[in-house]
Amino acid sequence: MEDCIFCKIIKGEIPSQKVYEDDKILAFRDINPAAPIHILVIPKKHIEKITDLQEEDSSYITHIFLKMKEIAKQEGFAEKGFRVISNCGKESGQEVMHLHFHMLAGKPMGPLLAK
Ligand code: DGP
């Protein structure tokens, strides 16, 4: 089966503006930013979405959240604050079926949901 877009980004087959990378995860700038700063954080393992997570994947999730803390400091928005979103499935509007966490920052975020 063909790799998904984010697996291709991980392999370097599609270029991305990397913010952070290690052996488990990659963080890069969203191609269609919804805020002045919009970073996507993904596991290097292809997991489609939250509802596909298995117990054995827990280290990815812990790692992602701990690294989001570092990315927020590195990118200078830890102090002012930011929002983290992970869309899961059809009604959420998930477009890319590779688990990802949106980090949105750089302006007041306003209400949680668009009406
Ligand atoms: P979601 O709707 O939660 O599945 O968000 C997917 C996000 O991925 C969306 O904000 C746009 C971003 N995206 C899609 N394709 C690419 C790409 O090729 N490069 C980058 N940097 N971002 C992408």
- Is the whole model's pTM more than 0.75, yes or no? yes
Active site residue 100: yes
| Ligand 1, pocket-test mutation among 8, 18, 29, 32, most atoms within 8 A of CB | 32
CA distance 38 to 57: 25
Beta bridge partners of 18: 28
pLDDT in tens, 94-110: 999 999 999 999 999 99
Question: Mean pLDDT across the stretch 47-67?
Answer: 98
- Burial annotation 29-66 (CB, 10 A radius, 16+ → b, else e): ebeeeebebbbbbbbbebbebeeebeeeeeebbebbee
- Ligand 1, atom nearest to 14 Cα: 18
Instruction: Determine the pLDDT at residue 113.
Output: 87
Q: Contact, 84 vs 103, CB < 8 A?
A: yes
**8 A C-beta contact, residue 85 and residue 50:** no
